Structure 1
């Protein structure tokens, strides 16, 4: 996706690679002069502490807890964990942050890029599908206690949270009148109401071609597809969008989903639901997330669906 703010000539920008993607910031004047250092520090913190590929970070400490053990974590990780659990309950497990064993079972054990993963014949790991969270949250101390088994992979919702939090800081603390934060397709934009962003949605197979141009003053957009992060696992093609009820890669004939909403977390979770849920049901799922959600989908025949 590429965003362009109509009517503003003086924009300050920042771009750097993190989390296996490119983060791009474009803002009007910010009252915090070192905003670029703050943004890089925030994204680097998430990249380091929330990655499932690092055993000794905050997320790794959580995943290694035994039942009854507890750990104090940073307020942002505490917050995103609770939000992820809220989405799991709201979607009745279609979305789940507890899919690390399933990701690894299907061969997603290393960071991208890779084309082939080692196939080991074994039984599929059990799903976490209880009504309650495997963790207890103590609000006053940001302490998390393990109550049951459950392994966390924040994945896309962690990136969406990163984008949303960065945009909120720039708007509220930095008093930026108009801006955009783009974390590899998870995008939040805002303006004083007089300006408009144009955001192109790339074709799933030809990323230099746009299948649509979206116009947005304030809001968020997230795009997911089953092509970019895909690999061969033995003789099977696998991808990273996992159905939280079955533990299997999504297979509903959609290959790309773009969701537009008021905030980046709704858009991020909504895009995944569009790739998991049946065509008859995903619109209800989106409405359950937020009445403001709209979508742009591409199916495996190349047909574009809008709603």
Structure 2
């Protein structure tokens, strides 16, 4: 190796080492891991690097624990056992699952069925990686089994039964919001005051970014390299639901995505023909509020309800705001954000 080449290599290594040292010494700590079928991002400030490693491990372990309990893809998860057994007989469930189901059913009633965890009865037949979906005959046959009223929960005694034996549930519309809240609770237990935690489209912010707000980008739904908006936030949660997260394009050039309309048993229609008939259909919804346990199901609800009913829902809920993008790529805000 020539002296010039060696000097260039050593200079590069020194620069990298200095940059790494600065990142570690400024008190900010970062981690990213693949959990819950998405990327979990963690950023927080703590003066001790040794303590930060313990905190990071505790947060990521909590995400893995929740995934192990609530994943519909893990055969031994509590959710999978529920889907195998609750349609046949009443069964005992954990207090955690009972709490999540109770919240889910509350939002089902609040939104008159726009949020409905029993969408999985048909949703489980879709494979977005393979481009597979339930056919029309199967959809019509199973549609009566998609109804949150089939979920009979005894919250006090922690028992659950499905009143329709074919009903299945999925907590994809609430579990990640719940998980980021749990992560923030752990950070607070360790005395952390400034942090950002995200899992897919759900994020929870603890405090501010040491004297300035966190800047949260809302992805452009048709150009992943751009943001449709950047919102300054602190000490809050934000959840985004869009038709671009998991989808495939069918033979008719139609976007088939993962947000289901329980009334039809199919993905909520979002494709635009470029005219005003699509003005109520949404392709992206972001809801801001105190906790992810609420903003997560609300973003799904607004997406299914459409612009008019969805914005009206959020306007009637103090402490919550929404940003929606319709099928014609126009952006709308609830009244608290219009300034």
Determine the structure 2 residue equivalent to 1:273.
Answer: 301
Q: Which has the higher contact order (CA 8 A, sep 6+)?
A: 1
Counterparts of 2:93 and 2:255, CA distance in 1: 37
Aligned counterpart, 1:240: 258
Runs of 4+ in 1 over 4 A off after TM superposition: 30-33, 118-121, 128-133, 192-195, 232-236
Which of these residues, 192, 195, 202, is aligned with residue 176 of structure 1?
A: 192
SS in 2 for 1:126: helix
- The residue that corresponds to 1:257 in the other structure is 285
The correspondence for 1:144, drawn from 135, 159, 175, is 159
Q: Which residue does the alignment assign to 2:221? A: 204
What CA distance in whole angstroms lies between the structure 2 residues aligned with 1:44 and 1:66?
24
When residues 121 and 260 of structure 1 are mapped into structure 2, their CA distance, relative to the original with a 3 A threshold, is closer
Return the offset for 1:60: 1.1
1:119 and 1:270, CA in 2 relative to 1: closer, same or farther beyond 3 A?
closer
Q: Which residue in 2 is equivalent to 1:117? A: 132
How far apart are residue 56 of structure 1 and its match?
Answer: 3.0
Helix, strand or coil at the partner of 2:96: helix
Q: Distance in 1 between matches of 2:323 and 2:149?
A: 33
Q: Residues 128 and 292 of structure 1: is their aligned pair in 2 closer, same or farther, counting only changes over 3 Å?
A: farther
In 2: Cα distance, 1:197 partner to 1:118 partner: 39
Q: How many pairs does the alignment contain?
A: 291
Task: Report the TM-score, using the length of structure 1 for normalisation.
Answer: 0.84
- Of 151-160 and 199-208, more deviation after overlay is shown by 199-208
Q: 1:144–1:257: structure 2 CA closer, same or farther, 3 Å change rule?
A: same
Question: In the aligned structure 2, how far is the partner of 1:138 from the partner of 1:73?
Answer: 10
Name the CA shift for 1:66/1:59 in 2 (closer, same or farther; >3 Å).
Answer: closer
Match of 1:298 among 325, 333, 337: 325
Q: Which 10-residue stretch deviates more, 115-124 or 217-226?
A: 115-124
What is the CA–CA distance in structure 1 between the aligned matches of 2:331 and 2:130, rounded to whole Å? 28
Q: Measured at CA, do residues 123 and 115 of structure 1 come closer, stay the same or move farther in structure 2, by a change above 3 Å? A: closer
1:63 to 77, 83, 100: 83
How many angstroms apart in 1 are the aligned matches of 2:224 and 2:305? 25
- The residue number in structure 2 matching 1:76 is 96
1:40 and 2:60 correspond: yes
Deviations along 1:55-94, one digit per CA (max 9) or x if unpaired, are 3321111111255734443333232122111111111111
- Does structure 1 retain, via aligned residues, the 8 Å contact 2:285–2:322? yes
- Partners of 1:301 and 1:160 in 2: CA distance: 28
1:284 aligns with 312
The Cα RMSD (Å) is 2.7
Deviation at 1:121, TM superposition (A): 5.1
Q: Matches of 2:138 and 2:87 in 1, distance apart?
A: 24
- Where do 5+ consecutive residues of structure 1 fail to align? 1-7
Q: Mark the structure with the bigger radius of gyration.
A: 2
Instruction: Tell me, yes or no, if the aligned pair for 2:143 and 2:264 is still in contact at 8 Å.
Output: no
Cα pair distance change 1:147/1:122, threshold 3 Å: closer
Q: Give the TM-score normalised by structure 2.
A: 0.77
Query: Using a 3 Å threshold, how does the CA distance of structure 1 residues 82 and 233 change in structure 2: closer, same or farther?
Result: farther
Q: 1:119 to 1:190 in 2, by over 3 A?
A: closer
Q: Is the 8 A contact 1:118 1:234 kept in 2?
A: no
For the residues of structure 2 that align with 1:131 and 1:116, how far apart are their CA atoms?
Answer: 27
CA distance in structure 1 between the partners assigned to 2:106 and 2:38 by the alignment: 26
Query: Cα gap change, 1:131/1:59 in structure 2, threshold over 3 Å: closer, same or farther?
Result: closer
Higher share in helix: 2
Determine if contact 1:115/1:232 at 8 Å carries over to the other structure: no
